[in-house]
A and B are shown apart, each in its own frame.
Chain A
Amino acid sequence: MGLLHASILNVLPNVQLAAMCEKSSVTRRLWKKVFREIQIVDNLEKLSDLDLDAVYVTTPIPSHFFIAKTLYTRHLTHNLFVEKTLASNYDEAKELCGLTRRFGGANMVGYLRRFTVTFRKAKDLLSEDYAGDATGFTGYAYSSDFYGMNRGSKTLVSRGGVLRDLGCHVIDLAIWFFGDLKVDSANVESVADGCSGDVWHFAVRKPGGLKGDFKASWCMNGYRMPEIALQISCSKGIIEVSDDVVKLQLNNGQLSTWHRHDLNDTSFFWLGGPEYFREDDYFIKSVRENLHAEPDFDMASKVDRLIDEVQFKVDKISD
């Protein structure tokens, strides 16, 4: 992810990629020969002389807290983009939110799906009342990343588990669409055909009545690319949305379908998909123009809180 963001930033007008911080000495040696005009450092402190306008944190989730805290407290930058999730748990996330209040600047967490045209269309359909009031939803986050692999991969831990690595996207979308949610129940099912992980299943509710169900797994067959999807029941019909398509089925039988093709899914530069460019362009604009960026740390910490709640419920059942 670091190289992807670095590449896009280098394309943005009036943005100069200044430095990369890399722990591995082998990778650092190689990067020094590839990125000849960029400083490659092994330690955050070495960024201090560079007068950086903004920093992107794209390391594994367990290291986000330490790095973000160091960047703030050592005044290395006050404009910070952190890849999802903000931290490894809600306590860490809260502390980082405190630092943003103390130091100011633009802060944002990389919940990419907010920049995907299909999810934006679904958000518009909800906000503009095309489908009426939402009464319930189901959502999933699936991938085949570990499908067919044996149990016990170290990678699963370094990525923060499936909820933080993948499930966080669908949780963030639900919070974006519906506001704060509380966990009602949670459980973990083992996958029958053997895999390094499991299927997490949890139910949520919102004060006022809306209820939702989530599933997350990176052991599903047929999900070559990670897929996030929601089905939202509303008073006037049903909205189905995924990375590829949005459907609105009204109670009167009228069906509208929008693929990415229909939603002006374009950008100035294409790398990994136009949403990556939109995300970086938006954050940099926020830094430049001193605007509030979303999702900021406060908003993103709600995902960390919900994941903690899910894990707490599951641990309680295991005990």
Chain B
Amino acid sequence: MLLVGDNPFHNISHLSQDRARARGNATKQPECAADLVMLSLENGANGFMFSVSDTTLSILREIREREAIEHLSLYAIVPYAYEYVRVATQVGGVTGLIAKVAKEITMSRSAGTIAMGLGAVIRSNPLSLMKTYLSYEISRVKSSAGKKANLISLMLHEVVTDMALALDLDWLFRSYIDFTLRRGLTPGFNTGNFTYFVDKFKTWNLDLDKIAIAAPFNKIGFQMIPSKIACEKTLDSLLQPIVIAISILAAGYLKPTEAIGYIAALPNIKGVAIGVSRESHARETFRLFHKELNG
């Protein structure tokens, strides 16, 4: 599985913000971003991993209009934490944020979601609130990507995954897994604490084989917590390839030719996600990874 990552489309660079600013806003334009996704597809990519935001939903609409959406496996990450934190900052905290999201859900005109949400608020039921929110995000993706879309996995953003891990909220993980499986989706988790995550799932007797994990893996061990060796050991202990490697270029610190050897040698990797911001990147990077990982 070779996934196009969406960081450049949100103008994110984990190497430096200077770099993102220098890139400008071109990749944030849906047409331009869709061009890059299409070019990546032509050169070996077969999926798109994205945070669900207005920007990425516009990109999905653009790809759908070009009649290419069915060629992409979609991995949707929710919530788009940055946007929610920004809104909370602007509207004055969590209460304001909840009011805004509630308004958006109401505007979505999905009767089932609204009814579920209303009941959840009245009962202050966190699980119902979570399900309401997830249903809303799934409906946003499906209405933008269309009926032919191949939504494979709904992935929980790393801030939520890692907070829930730290706070031992095993019931939340169980409920999330159950909910996504019932919706015909692979339960996905984006985490910055791969080893801790796998250890906790084993302690809680949660089935790792049913899920997908997106976690950093790269030659220099950047963001591999607590260490490169520990992450490699955990990866090796898995029974099935369930991991989507992210940050494989260590946020642009490594060239694709420097990164590929390490990634290709890792066990239990189901796929990799790579962000590209230029046509030449899309062409060269995906061609290289397609050849090395599938060849």
B95 at the interface (CB under 8 A from A): yes
Decide if A266 touches B227 in the complex (CB within 8 Å).
yes
Residues of A within 8 A of B262 (CB): none
Stretch at the interface among A121-129, A199-207, A220-228: A220-228
B227: chain A residues within 8 A (beta carbon): 266
Contact B16 A158 (CB under 8 A): no
In the complex, A245 has a CB within 8 A of chain B: yes
- A223-B17, A269-B196, A270-B192 known; A7+B223 contact, CB < 8 A: no
A244-B250 in contact (CB<8A): no
B221: A residues at CB distance < 8 A: 266
Q: Are B90 and A153 in contact (CB under 8 A)?
A: yes
Verify A155–B94 contact, CB threshold 8 A: no
User: Contact size class for B?
Assistant: 35 or more
- Among B50-58, B166-174, B275-283, the one that faces the other chain is B166-174
Interface residues of B in 113-164 (CB under 8 A from A): 124-126, 129, 159, 162-163
Give bound CA distance, A261 to B253, whole Å.
Answer: 8
Given A11, A267, A272, A274, which contacts B159 in the complex, CB threshold below 8 Å?
A: A272
Alpha-carbon separation in the docked complex, A121 to B209 (Å): 42
Instruction: Choose one: B91, B125, B163, B168; the contact of A3 (CB below 8 Å).
Output: B163
A225 engages B125 (CB within 8 Å):
no
Task: Check A271 against B166 for contact (C-beta < 8 Å).
Answer: yes
Quick one: given A225-B17, A244-B15, are A270 and B223 in contact (CB under 8 Å)? Answer: yes
Chain B residues closer than 8 Å to A269, beta-carbon distance: 162, 166, 193, 196, 225-226
CB pair A35–B167 under 8 Å, yes or no, is yes
Q: Which residues of A contact B (CB under 8 A)?
A: 3-4, 6-8, 10-11, 17, 24, 26-27, 29-30, 33-35, 145-146, 149, 153-155, 158-159, 222-225, 227, 242-245, 259-261, 265-272, 274
Q: Mind listing 24 A-B residue pairs with CB under 8 Å?
A: A3-B163, A7-B162, A10-B167, A26-B95, A30-B124, A30-B129, A33-B126, A145-B89, A153-B92, A155-B89, A155-B90, A155-B92, A224-B10, A242-B16, A242-B18, A260-B222, A261-B220, A266-B226, A267-B226, A269-B162, A269-B196, A269-B225, A270-B193, A271-B192
